[in-house]
Structure 1
Amino acid sequence: MSEAPAPHEHANAAPVVLDGGDRRCVHLLIELSRLVAGLPSGRVVHLIATDPAAPIDLPAWCHLTGHRYLGALTSRGRPAYAISVRADARRTEPHAPWRSATAPRSGASPGETPALEEQERADRGEHQAQRAGDQRGKEG
């Protein structure tokens, strides 16, 4: 029977690479949250991200969750950043990784999902914009 490796042993394994390309940090953080949820403590993730907000958003997300921000990687052609996964990290909302899953939002109703509420607001805004465009088309 073999023992599971100690968490620090994963730090020596090849890093897991998440190539975010030119996607915005919001989408990258959602992907990163899902990725690290299945990784062992101590595993290093390299996130390739060209979004100019990445050097700000990634350290902030690590501070929120408890994962360890290791900094920018200088040896790559595209901007990349490293984090170390922590087993005791705090969970975030699945579709809003900038929001802690354990902290209730002020004014939230019991069972209300903040991410769904935001999506509903966005959908309403798109619908209103579409209706306004349709109305202008009828007038012109």
Structure 2
Amino acid sequence: MRVAQSLVASPPPDITVDGTGLLCVTLLLRLRKHIDTAAPGTVVHVIATDPAAPLDLPAWCHMTDHAYLGPVPDTAPTAYGLQLATSARTTRAHAPWHPATP
């Protein structure tokens, strides 16, 4: 997994995905929809209130090869940053925890 160094100031987002009140599975479905056509290098901030987000988002980034940037400082509810990878691995359309079949 590619993890960026701890950020003093988070890069500004190109895309913000609001997952307030969503469980991580639903949040990942929403995230996937927003980034499907985004270019590699795009910075995404994901607003998440699910207590599992600090574990699930880095795990999902590891699985897809996107860079997990960590929690965005001074955000409430907490936002998490990620940067889209050039060589990202896709997931199943309705099952974001499973790699797409070749």
**TM-score, normalising length from structure 1?**
0.62
| SS in structure 2 at match of 1:98 | strand
The structure richer in helix per residue is 1
CA contact (8 A) 2:13 2:44 kept: no
Report the CA distance shift for 1:37/1:87 in structure 2 as closer, same or farther (over 3 A).
farther
Aligned residues: 92
Aligned to 2:88: 89
Percentage of pairs with the same residue: 46
Structure-2 change in CA distance of 1:20 and 1:55 (3 Å): same
Distance 2:12 2:71 in 1: 19
In the aligned structure 2, how far is the partner of 1:79 from the partner of 1:39?
23
Within 5 Å, give how 1:1-140 maps onto structure 2.
14-102=13-101
Q: Please identify runs of 4+ aligned residues in structure 1 that moved more than 2 A.
A: 12-15
* Structure of greater Rg: 1
Bigger proportion of residues as strand: 2
TM (norm. structure 2) is 0.83
Q: Which has the higher contact order (CA 8 A, sep 6+)?
A: 2
- Shift in Å, 1:50: 0.3
Contact 1:13 1:43 in 2 (8 A): no
List gaps (5 residues or longer) in structure 2: 1-10
Seen in structure 2, the aligned counterparts of structure 1 residues 36 and 93 have a Cα distance that, compared at 3 Å, is same
The unaligned stretches of length 5 or more in structure 1 are 1-11, 104-140
Alpha carbon RMSD of aligned pairs, Å?
A: 1.5
